[in-house]
Structure 1
Amino acid sequence: MPAPFSDPVWRKPQAASRFQSLLASGGRADVVIVGGGIMGLSTALHAARSGMSVQVLEAGEIGQGASGLNGGQVIPGLKYDPEWLLEHFGPERGEALVNFAASTANAVFDLIRDEKLAVPFVRNGWIQAAHTEAALKAAANRDRQWRARGADVKLLSEAEIAAMTGARGYLGGWLDRRAGVIDPLAYTSELARVAAAAGVGIAERQRVARLVNAAGVWRVSTESGAELQARAVVLATNAYTDGLIPGLAQTIVPLHSFQIATAPLPPKLAATILPEGQAVSDSRRILVYYRKSADGRLVLGGRGRMALPTGPSDWAHLERALRRLYPGLSSVAIEKRWFGRVAMTPDHLPHIHEPEQGLVAVVGCQGRGVGLMTALGERIATYLSGGDARQLPFPLSPIRPIPFHAFRQVGVAATIAWYRLLDALER
């Protein structure tokens, strides 16, 4: 449910539908998808296009979770660069994974184009901004690896990054022109619209309470009392994962990503801040990320408190970051504050699980969920239609709960506080 003091800048398209399409109790679909975010809707759309009957069950409203509340940065790649992936996954799997990671932004922008989605977007790239010499060296290493593969990337000098961002304090950075920005709530809403048009049943406010496998048929029970049958079930709840699959929620650490948006920038200021509309993520331990919205606001986000916010002061650390980067914005009001929940895995990679035949779960966006989950949805749909597991970009892995998971978030909160102090000392 929406939390108090959470007022996002993103808005659903005026023509956005309410979805109440639910199979009659006892009805049967080829696939039931639990979760109506980007991952669930992308899977649903591609599964329906391949001829499967699909029912999506969303516990809240479409776009209410992180899929509609994120920063809208569409970034290809993963946390790890090609050489690391090849070393850890081997030449065959690693090469396939590198190619998949390179394609994730294309998956989003191709879908917007091909389906004529009413989604505001700019595709002029993503800047990874370096504030230390060590970060600049890492950017050069990343640039070397992706440039060798023909990616449209560029290492930025101190003067170039200052001109492209208008921000203070960077020594240089890295530009990946394959990336861009979108309105994430419009994108999620439009994904639901085209999926429904393709024949997908979508039901909002239908929380799934139980999954039971009976002789190869999955019985999906909702809190409202409906029971559906399916050949396969996809759990696409990511950071909102609960106890439906034993142990799965204990494989991730959910974090809150807080965001703020200024009032629309005055024209003179707007001309000097991200004039070409790129997205930016910095190199700090507790990074901040920012971009302009379609209506000319500066939107900035970063990690927030682990508990739910209680008032505007919970966003104060982001306001300080904004003033540090852009002192000229000190007189511009902060008009919007909101947050979403994201999922972290211990190895910083997405995980695909199939604990029982016909039950597939995907967790761990690692901050790149818009492109990653759009592209993964298509691969999962192919797998459900009879594809080989070797065609999945990530290998199927067993569910391994994090040891002492109940104490993990306490440790993460302490680590965030410590890293934030170290970042402050480096300014």
Structure 2
Amino acid sequence: MTQAIPYDIAIIGGGIMGCATALRVAEGGMTAIVLDQGDLGQGASGVNAGTLSLQIKRVKLMPYALRGHHLWEQMGDAVGFAKTGGFTLAFTPREADMLHERQTLKAEAGAPIEFVANNRLRDAEPHLTHKVQAASFCAEDGYANSSLTGRYYRGRLQDANIPYREGCKVTAIKEGAPFELSTPQGTIRATRILLAAGAWLKPLAALLNVDLPVNARVNTVSVTERMPPLIRSVIGHATGLLTMKQKANGTVLIGGGWQGRGTPQEGRGTVDAHTVRPNLALAQYAVPALGSARVLRSWTGFEANVPDFYPLAGPLPGVPGAFVLGCVRGGYTIGPYIGQLMGDSILGREPEMPLFDPGRDFEKDTA
């Protein structure tokens, strides 16, 4: 079944970025529909650890992260937002040098990061190891409950009268004026389309004969049983290989980008015990009392990236009327804001901050 009047835009991907864009274009008067092959907010937006730490964001993306963090704070209890502050730790002289270099650049980019002495660290977090050689602190760091992402944005779309379809995989896209999107729930017609499907961007763009250089990481998160109070803050490591927080119910969430197995085309990724073990070992090194904790569950989530590790945000090369948004390192924090910027661009407005041309030359940048 094909609807008679085309939507102004069909957004393929119902995660944070797709939903935030839909809300923005609807505010500007466009008719939009959001399509997701699963449930809203249940891809990368719903399976990550929920960490909202400015200390682990890239220097050049810091202005976007600061604005995104502010939007999460405005969402508040609806997304389980908690501002706990966060410490990033170094255990060796080499890690201490790395920490000082990176966090100084991030502070210069606007993040309220400071270096703290061990006595202050131990006063704040007495259960941390005493083998810390250097530590930085950001009072703005915290977390949200990523499992609430879908429910939150589903409510926002309903309040804005924006239709959405879940379990609605796009299997073919016919270019034209309008585009015609084939789905199990019928054909969707739209004047414009936005590809915002995260790790599934590459096969989706291929439907339009566009080869996006998108790769997918298979990040792993683990959760422990309920424990007595051990840490109040978000805890990270200078290498970026550890993020850890204790929720109000006592469980401890442990992540840090350790890789599982699988590809988006194969469905959900699988946990690799060989990478979970060192992740948990690093967490226990930081908080020795975790040695007595049982891990209840570990799971994976795909995180898309391109060779230079900056976002794709702009017109899809060679396809008039098509746009792409995704591949944002730290996308959980930045997502609500970059979605607004994308919406402004689609509306023909000048975005508050620059977007990221999907047609650029890609060179790896690790800053």
Answer yes or no: is the 8 Å Cα contact 1:129–1:170 preserved in 2.
Answer: yes
- Flag the 1:182–1:296 CA change in 2: closer, same or farther, 3 A: same
- Flag the 1:257–1:151 CA change in 2: closer, same or farther, 3 A: closer
Partner of 2:43: 65
Question: Which residue, out of 223, 228, 231, partners 1:274?
Answer: 231
State the shift of 1:319 in Å: 3.0
Alignment of 1:5-404 (within 5 A): 25-76=3-54, 79-81=57-59, 85=60, 99-110=63-74, 112-113=75-76, 118-145=78-105, 147=107, 151-165=111-125, 166-168=127-129, 169-214=131-176, 216-222=177-183, 224=184, 226-246=186-206, 250-266=212-228, 270=229, 273-275=230-232, 278-284=233-239, 287-302=241-256, 303-307=258-262, 308-309=269-270, 315-354=276-315, 355=317, 356-366=319-329, 368-388=330-350, 391-398=352-359
Cα separation, 1, equivalents of 2:136 and 2:108: 15
State the shift of 1:226 in Å: 1.3
- Flag the 1:348–1:158 CA change in 2: closer, same or farther, 3 A: farther
User: What per-residue deviation string (whole Å, max 9, x for no partner) do you get for residues 143-199 of structure 1?
Assistant: 544555664322122333344443324322222222320101113321221122111
Q: Which amino acid aligns with 1:134?
A: R
State the shift of 1:212 in Å: 2.3
Cα separation, 2, equivalents of 1:359 and 1:150: 33
Cα separation, 2, equivalents of 1:78 and 1:316: 22
Cα separation, 1, equivalents of 2:92 and 2:57: 19
- Flag the 1:158–1:239 CA change in 2: closer, same or farther, 3 A: farther
Query: Gaps spanning 5+ residues in structure 1: where?
Result: 1-22, 86-96, 404-427
Q: Which amino acid aligns with 2:120?
A: E
Query: Gaps spanning 5+ residues in structure 2: where?
Result: 263-268
Answer yes or no: is the 8 Å Cα contact 1:234–1:361 preserved in 2.
Answer: yes
State the shift of 1:353 in Å: 4.0
- Flag the 1:148–1:339 CA change in 2: closer, same or farther, 3 A: closer
Answer yes or no: is the 8 Å Cα contact 1:125–1:175 preserved in 2.
Answer: yes
State the shift of 1:249 in Å: 6.5
- Flag the 1:300–1:249 CA change in 2: closer, same or farther, 3 A: farther
- Flag the 1:51–1:64 CA change in 2: closer, same or farther, 3 A: same
What is the aligned-residue identity percentage? 20
Cα separation, 1, equivalents of 2:328 and 2:235: 18
Please identify, of 323-332 and 375-384, the stretch whose mean Cα deviation from structure 2 is larger: 323-332
User: What per-residue deviation string (whole Å, max 9, x for no partner) do you get for residues 50-80 of structure 1?
Assistant: 2221100010112321111101011347744
Cα separation, 1, equivalents of 2:298 and 2:68: 28
Q: Which amino acid aligns with 2:289?
A: G
Cα separation, 2, equivalents of 1:118 and 1:79: 24
- Flag the 1:297–1:213 CA change in 2: closer, same or farther, 3 A: same
- Flag the 1:182–1:127 CA change in 2: closer, same or farther, 3 A: same
- Flag the 1:315–1:151 CA change in 2: closer, same or farther, 3 A: closer
Answer yes or no: is the 8 Å Cα contact 1:265–1:297 preserved in 2.
Answer: yes
- Flag the 1:289–1:185 CA change in 2: closer, same or farther, 3 A: same
Answer yes or no: is the 8 Å Cα contact 1:211–1:221 preserved in 2.
Answer: yes
- Flag the 1:332–1:155 CA change in 2: closer, same or farther, 3 A: same
Number of equivalent positions:
351
SS of 2:30's equivalent in the other structure is coil
Cα separation, 2, equivalents of 1:148 and 1:304: 31
- Flag the 1:360–1:180 CA change in 2: closer, same or farther, 3 A: same
State the shift of 1:203 in Å: 0.8
**What is the Cα-based RMSD across aligned positions, in Å?**
2.8
State the shift of 1:248 in Å: 6.0
State the shift of 1:232 in Å: 1.6
Cα separation, 2, equivalents of 1:104 and 1:313: 34
